[in-house]
Protein backbone atom coordinates (compact mmCIF):
# COMPACT_ATOMS: atom_id res chain seq x y z
CA UNK A 1 0.00 0.00 0.00
CA UNK A 2 1.40 3.42 -0.92
CA UNK A 3 1.89 6.23 1.63
CA UNK A 4 -1.04 8.04 0.01
CA UNK A 5 -3.45 5.15 0.47
CA UNK A 6 -4.81 6.52 3.74
CA UNK A 7 -6.26 9.64 2.11
CA UNK A 8 -8.65 10.50 -0.69
CA UNK A 9 -8.69 14.11 -1.84
CA UNK A 10 -12.05 15.77 -1.25
CA UNK A 11 -13.09 19.31 -0.36
CA UNK A 12 -10.27 21.55 0.98
CA UNK A 13 -11.71 21.50 4.51
CA UNK A 14 -12.37 17.74 4.55
CA UNK A 15 -10.15 14.68 4.63
CA UNK A 16 -11.19 11.08 4.01
CA UNK A 17 -8.92 8.86 6.08
CA UNK A 18 -8.58 5.08 6.01
CA UNK A 19 -8.43 4.71 9.78
CA UNK A 20 -7.16 1.13 9.77
CA UNK A 21 -4.17 2.11 7.64
CA UNK A 22 -3.58 5.35 9.53
CA UNK A 23 -3.65 3.64 12.95
CA UNK A 24 -1.61 0.64 11.80
CA UNK A 25 -4.45 -1.87 12.20
CA UNK A 26 -5.62 -4.72 10.00
CA UNK A 27 -9.26 -3.75 10.49
CA UNK A 28 -11.50 -1.58 12.66
CA UNK A 29 -14.78 -2.46 14.36
CA UNK A 30 -15.75 0.49 16.55
CA UNK A 31 -15.14 3.35 14.13
CA UNK A 32 -15.64 3.80 10.40
CA UNK A 33 -12.77 2.66 8.25
CA UNK A 34 -13.44 5.40 5.68
CA UNK A 35 -13.65 8.32 8.07
CA UNK A 36 -14.57 11.80 6.96
CA UNK A 37 -12.59 14.37 8.95
CA UNK A 38 -13.64 18.01 8.86
CA UNK A 39 -11.20 20.84 9.59
CA UNK A 40 -11.28 24.51 10.49
CA UNK A 41 -8.52 26.96 9.65
CA UNK A 42 -7.18 26.50 13.21
CA UNK A 43 -7.36 22.68 13.26
CA UNK A 44 -3.95 21.06 13.22
CA UNK A 45 -3.78 19.33 9.86
CA UNK A 46 -3.44 15.52 10.11
CA UNK A 47 -0.54 14.34 7.95
CA UNK A 48 -2.76 11.89 6.10
CA UNK A 49 -0.73 12.15 2.90
CA UNK A 50 2.38 11.18 4.85
CA UNK A 51 1.46 9.25 8.01
CA UNK A 52 5.13 8.84 8.95
CA UNK A 53 5.16 12.52 9.88
CA UNK A 54 1.96 12.37 11.94
CA UNK A 55 2.08 12.14 15.75
CA UNK A 56 -1.18 10.20 16.05
CA UNK A 57 -0.22 7.67 13.37
CA UNK A 58 3.40 7.19 14.43
CA UNK A 59 3.38 7.77 18.20
CA UNK A 60 -0.08 7.84 19.79
CA UNK A 61 -1.62 4.86 17.99
CA UNK A 62 1.43 2.58 18.60
CA UNK A 63 1.40 3.63 22.27
CA UNK A 64 -2.31 2.85 22.54
CA UNK A 65 -1.70 -0.54 20.95
CA UNK A 66 1.03 -1.30 23.47
CA UNK A 67 -1.20 -0.35 26.39
CA UNK A 68 -3.97 -2.55 25.01
CA UNK A 69 -1.59 -5.48 24.55
CA UNK A 70 -0.47 -5.23 28.18
CA UNK A 71 -4.06 -5.36 29.42
CA UNK A 72 -4.43 -1.74 30.55
CA UNK A 73 -8.13 -0.92 30.89
CA UNK A 74 -9.21 2.48 29.59
CA UNK A 75 -12.86 3.28 29.97
CA UNK A 76 -12.49 7.00 30.70
CA UNK A 77 -10.17 8.86 28.30
CA UNK A 78 -9.20 12.50 27.86
CA UNK A 79 -7.12 14.18 25.17
CA UNK A 80 -5.60 17.65 25.56
CA UNK A 81 -5.12 19.44 22.26
CA UNK A 82 -7.14 17.01 20.19
CA UNK A 83 -6.95 18.90 16.90
CA UNK A 84 -9.11 16.99 14.42
CA UNK A 85 -10.12 14.34 16.98
CA UNK A 86 -8.19 11.42 15.45
CA UNK A 87 -6.49 10.67 18.77
CA UNK A 88 -9.91 10.16 20.38
CA UNK A 89 -11.03 7.90 17.52
CA UNK A 90 -7.82 5.87 18.00
CA UNK A 91 -8.56 5.53 21.72
CA UNK A 92 -12.10 4.37 21.02
CA UNK A 93 -10.95 1.77 18.49
CA UNK A 94 -7.72 0.50 20.06
CA UNK A 95 -8.39 0.90 23.79
CA UNK A 96 -12.16 0.51 23.77
CA UNK A 97 -12.60 3.84 25.54
CA UNK A 98 -16.24 4.68 26.21
CA UNK A 99 -16.30 8.01 28.05
CA UNK A 100 -14.35 10.54 26.01
CA UNK A 101 -13.24 14.06 26.92
CA UNK A 102 -11.77 16.19 24.11
CA UNK A 103 -10.13 19.53 24.80
CA UNK A 104 -8.44 22.16 22.68
CA UNK A 105 -7.66 25.84 22.92
CA UNK A 106 -10.19 27.08 20.35
CA UNK A 107 -13.96 26.63 20.33
CA UNK A 108 -14.18 26.08 16.56
CA UNK A 109 -11.54 23.33 16.72
CA UNK A 110 -13.33 21.54 19.56
CA UNK A 111 -16.70 21.84 17.86
CA UNK A 112 -15.36 20.29 14.64
CA UNK A 113 -13.46 17.55 16.49
CA UNK A 114 -16.65 16.60 18.31
CA UNK A 115 -18.48 16.36 14.99
CA UNK A 116 -15.67 14.25 13.53
CA UNK A 117 -15.83 11.80 16.41
CA UNK A 118 -19.61 11.43 16.45
CA UNK A 119 -19.78 11.11 12.66
CA UNK A 120 -17.24 8.29 12.59
CA UNK A 121 -18.18 6.16 15.62
CA UNK A 122 -20.22 3.15 14.58
CA UNK A 123 -22.07 2.50 17.85
CA UNK A 124 -22.84 6.00 19.11
CA UNK A 125 -24.85 4.73 22.07
CA UNK A 126 -21.70 3.12 23.48
CA UNK A 127 -19.74 6.38 23.59
CA UNK A 128 -20.26 9.39 25.86
CA UNK A 129 -18.51 12.51 24.58
CA UNK A 130 -17.71 15.68 26.52
CA UNK A 131 -15.94 18.53 24.74
CA UNK A 132 -14.75 21.95 25.86
CA UNK A 133 -12.40 24.72 24.78
CA UNK A 134 -9.78 26.38 26.93
CA UNK A 135 -6.29 26.20 28.36
CA UNK A 136 -4.97 22.67 29.06
CA UNK A 137 -7.28 20.97 31.62
CA UNK A 138 -8.86 24.18 32.92
CA UNK A 139 -12.20 23.56 31.11
CA UNK A 140 -12.80 20.42 33.20
CA UNK A 141 -11.21 21.52 36.47
CA UNK A 142 -14.57 21.49 38.26
CA UNK A 143 -16.05 18.39 36.63
CA UNK A 144 -14.83 15.88 39.25
CA UNK A 145 -13.44 13.57 36.58
CA UNK A 146 -11.85 10.23 37.38
CA UNK A 147 -9.91 9.24 34.29
CA UNK A 148 -7.99 6.12 33.32
CA UNK A 149 -5.86 7.84 30.68
CA UNK A 150 -5.03 11.39 29.66
CA UNK A 151 -3.20 11.79 26.37
CA UNK A 152 -1.32 14.95 25.48
CA UNK A 153 0.91 16.00 22.61
CA UNK A 154 1.46 19.67 23.41
CA UNK A 155 3.59 22.27 21.61
CA UNK A 156 6.95 23.37 22.97
CA UNK A 157 8.34 26.24 20.88
CA UNK A 158 8.13 29.77 22.39
CA UNK A 159 5.81 32.14 20.57
CA UNK A 160 7.66 34.75 18.54
CA UNK A 161 7.14 38.49 18.68
CA UNK A 162 4.15 39.50 16.60
CA UNK A 163 2.70 35.99 16.45
CA UNK A 164 -0.82 35.29 17.69
CA UNK A 165 -2.09 31.95 19.02
CA UNK A 166 -5.54 32.78 17.65
CA UNK A 167 -4.31 32.88 14.05
CA UNK A 168 -4.28 29.74 11.91
CA UNK A 169 -2.43 26.73 13.30
CA UNK A 170 -0.03 28.81 15.44
CA UNK A 171 -1.29 27.29 18.71
CA UNK A 172 -0.48 23.78 17.46
CA UNK A 173 3.25 24.57 17.37
CA UNK A 174 3.97 27.53 19.61
CA UNK A 175 3.56 28.35 23.30
CA UNK A 176 2.86 31.78 24.78
CA UNK A 177 4.80 32.87 27.85
CA UNK A 178 3.24 31.41 30.98
CA UNK A 179 2.57 33.21 34.24
CA UNK A 180 2.70 30.13 36.45
CA UNK A 181 5.93 29.32 38.32
CA UNK A 182 7.89 26.83 36.21
CA UNK A 183 10.93 24.90 37.47
CA UNK A 184 14.14 25.96 35.75
CA UNK A 185 14.86 22.52 34.32
CA UNK A 186 11.37 22.50 32.78
CA UNK A 187 11.57 25.94 31.17
CA UNK A 188 15.13 25.24 30.00
CA UNK A 189 13.98 22.08 28.20
CA UNK A 190 10.95 23.87 26.70
CA UNK A 191 8.45 21.45 28.21
CA UNK A 192 6.38 23.89 30.25
CA UNK A 193 2.99 22.80 28.89
CA UNK A 194 3.79 19.14 29.57
CA UNK A 195 4.68 20.07 33.17
CA UNK A 196 1.54 22.11 33.71
CA UNK A 197 -0.67 19.40 32.21
CA UNK A 198 0.86 16.80 34.52
CA UNK A 199 0.31 18.97 37.57
CA UNK A 200 -3.30 19.72 36.62
CA UNK A 201 -4.03 16.06 35.88
CA UNK A 202 -3.22 14.70 39.36
CA UNK A 203 -6.69 15.16 40.92
CA UNK A 204 -8.43 13.97 37.74
CA UNK A 205 -6.86 10.51 37.58
CA UNK A 206 -8.28 7.56 39.43
CA UNK A 207 -5.70 5.51 41.37
CA UNK A 208 -3.51 3.74 38.87
CA UNK A 209 -4.51 6.19 36.12
CA UNK A 210 -1.98 7.37 33.57
CA UNK A 211 -0.91 10.38 31.57
CA UNK A 212 0.52 9.53 28.16
CA UNK A 213 2.81 12.32 26.98
CA UNK A 214 4.18 12.46 23.43
CA UNK A 215 7.46 14.36 23.50
CA UNK A 216 10.00 14.87 20.74
CA UNK A 217 13.32 13.10 20.96
CA UNK A 218 15.29 16.32 21.38
CA UNK A 219 14.40 16.10 25.09
CA UNK A 220 16.82 13.81 27.00
CA UNK A 221 15.19 10.74 28.51
CA UNK A 222 16.53 11.73 31.94
CA UNK A 223 14.68 15.03 31.68
CA UNK A 224 11.44 13.28 30.73
CA UNK A 225 11.67 10.95 33.70
CA UNK A 226 12.55 13.82 36.04
CA UNK A 227 9.55 15.72 34.68
CA UNK A 228 7.31 12.84 35.72
CA UNK A 229 8.91 12.32 39.11
CA UNK A 230 8.85 15.96 40.20
CA UNK A 231 5.24 16.31 39.04
CA UNK A 232 4.32 13.43 41.37
CA UNK A 233 4.26 10.43 39.03
CA UNK A 234 6.12 7.21 38.34
CA UNK A 235 7.27 7.58 34.73
CA UNK A 236 8.50 5.13 32.14
CA UNK A 237 9.26 5.33 28.42
CA UNK A 238 6.49 3.36 26.75
CA UNK A 239 7.67 3.55 23.14
CA UNK A 240 10.56 5.13 21.25
CA UNK A 241 9.89 5.53 17.56
CA UNK A 242 11.00 7.52 14.53
CA UNK A 243 8.82 9.89 12.55
CA UNK A 244 9.43 12.37 9.79
CA UNK A 245 9.82 15.90 11.14
CA UNK A 246 6.74 17.89 10.14
CA UNK A 247 7.00 21.60 9.31
CA UNK A 248 10.78 21.61 9.85
CA UNK A 249 11.20 25.23 8.83
CA UNK A 250 8.47 26.39 11.21
CA UNK A 251 9.84 24.34 14.07
CA UNK A 252 13.37 25.65 14.04
CA UNK A 253 15.15 28.33 12.09
CA UNK A 254 18.34 26.31 12.42
CA UNK A 255 16.86 23.11 10.99
CA UNK A 256 17.89 22.05 7.52
CA UNK A 257 15.14 22.46 4.93
CA UNK A 258 13.39 19.36 3.64
CA UNK A 259 12.45 16.09 5.30
CA UNK A 260 14.16 15.39 8.58
CA UNK A 261 13.71 12.14 10.45
CA UNK A 262 13.48 12.70 14.19
CA UNK A 263 12.73 10.46 17.16
CA UNK A 264 9.40 10.66 18.92
CA UNK A 265 8.88 9.23 22.37
CA UNK A 266 5.76 8.38 24.28
CA UNK A 267 6.23 8.42 28.03
CA UNK A 268 3.65 6.64 30.16
CA UNK A 269 3.33 8.50 33.44
CA UNK A 270 1.39 6.64 36.05
CA UNK A 271 -0.13 8.25 39.09
CA UNK A 272 1.47 6.68 42.18
CA UNK A 273 -0.83 5.03 44.67
CA UNK A 274 -0.62 3.47 48.09
CA UNK A 275 -0.77 -0.22 47.28
CA UNK A 276 -2.99 -2.60 49.17
CA UNK A 277 -1.49 -5.77 50.57
CA UNK A 278 -2.56 -7.54 47.39
CA UNK A 279 -0.01 -5.40 45.56
CA UNK A 280 -2.61 -3.87 43.29
CA UNK A 281 -3.70 -0.26 43.06
CA UNK A 282 -7.29 0.35 44.10
CA UNK A 283 -9.51 1.41 41.20
pLDDT value of position 158: 75
- pLDDT per residue of the chain (283 residues) written in tens, 0 to 9: 333 334 333 344 889 999 999 999 999 999 999 999 999 999 988 988 889 989 999 999 999 999 999 999 999 999 999 999 999 999 999 999 999 999 999 999 999 999 999 999 999 999 999 999 999 999 999 999 999 999 999 987 776 777 776 777 666 666 788 999 999 999 999 999 999 999 999 999 999 999 999 988 788 899 999 999 999 999 999 988 877 766 554 443 322 333 344 555 666 666 543 322 233 333 3
Cα distance between residue 187 and residue 176, in whole Å: 12
Cα distance between residue 205 and residue 185, in whole Å: 25
Residue 143 has phi, psi (to 5 degrees) of -90, -5
Its pTM stands at 0.85
pLDDT value of position 240: 86
Dihedral (Cα; 20, 23, 165, 11), 10-degree rounding: -20
Residue 71 is classified by DSSP as T
pLDDT value of position 21: 96
Which residues are bridge partners to 129 per DSSP?
100
pLDDT value of position 269: 60
pLDDT value of position 277: 27
Q: At what angle do helices 192-201 and 221-230 cross, to 10 degrees?
A: 30
On whether the CB atoms of residues 197 and 136 are closer than 8 A, the answer is yes
Q: What is the DSSP string of 186-221?
A: HHHTT-HHHHHHHHHHGGGEEEEEEEEEEEETTS-H
Amino acid sequence: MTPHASLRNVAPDMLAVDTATFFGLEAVSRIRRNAWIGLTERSYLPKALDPRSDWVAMVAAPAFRMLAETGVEVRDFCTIGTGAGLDALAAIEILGAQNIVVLDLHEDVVRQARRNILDNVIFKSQVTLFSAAGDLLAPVADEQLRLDLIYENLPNIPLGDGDDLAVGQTSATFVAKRREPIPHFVSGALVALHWLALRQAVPMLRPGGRVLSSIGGRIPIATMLRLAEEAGYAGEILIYTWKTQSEPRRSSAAMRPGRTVAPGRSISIRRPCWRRRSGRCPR
